[in-house]
């Protein structure tokens, strides 16, 4: 559990938490909502993609790691779907924020689960050498790191 990758992922999760809070405070069809939602969307996509290429690719090929990896990747897809719904909705629609609350709830659940369950499972099923290599794989796969 002490491998660098887990620290990097937690720090990246905190960016998502901050952006979720900020978007939740925006109102209607505003510059602030547009800009912060676009940042959140990019943050979610890039993080999930790099995570799938590093941590989850490793877990998929490790004994005992597949089930949890598949579960998390399915959650990435669910998160994508809600982001897409939000993009198709007018930001001035009062239901936008209600849908955003669903996204926030889903993402916060996902981050909690990764931090409190998945990383521990990865710690158990991956060997040390593999774990040590994952941070670099994640950073390489992430367009802004
Ligand atoms: Fe994550
Ligand atoms: Fe994730």
pLDDT per 10-residue tile (average), the chain, 145 residues: 89 98 97 98 98 98 97 98 98 96 98 98 96 97 92
Domain extent at residue 112 = 4-141
The domain that holds 111 is classified in CATH as: 1.20.120.520
If one counts the domains in the chain, the total is 1
Which numbered ligand comes closest to the C-alpha of 12?
1
Question: What is the distance in A from the centroid of ligand 2 to the CA of 111?
Answer: 7
Q: Counting ligands in written order, which one lies closest to the CA of residue 110? A: 2
What does the pLDDT read at residue 143? Answer: 92
Ligand closest to Cα of 13 equals 1
pLDDT of residue 88: 97
| Residues near 35 by beta carbon (within 8 Å), at least 6 away in sequence | none
Which residues are close to ligand 2, an ion, with C-beta < 5 A?
51
pTM: 0.96
């Amino acid at each position: 559990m002490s491998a660098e990758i887990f620290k990097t992922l937690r720090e990246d999760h905190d960016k998502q938490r901050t952006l979720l809070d900020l978007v939740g405070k925006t109102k209607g069809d505003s510059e602030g909502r547009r800009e912060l939602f676009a940042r959140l969307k990019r943050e979610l996509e890039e993080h999930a993609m790099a995570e799938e290429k590093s941590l989850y690719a490793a877990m998929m090929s490790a004994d005992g790691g597949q089930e949890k990896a598949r579960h998390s990747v399915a959650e990435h897809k669910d998160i994508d779907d809600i982001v897409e719904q939000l993009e198709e909705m007018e930001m001035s629609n009062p239901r936008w924020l209600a849908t955003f609350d669903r996204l926030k709830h889903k993402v916060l659940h996902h981050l909690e689960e990764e931090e409190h369950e998945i990383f521990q499972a990865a710690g158990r099923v991956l060997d040390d050498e593999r774990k040590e290599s994952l941070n670099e794989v994640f950073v390489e796969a992430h367009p802004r790191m």
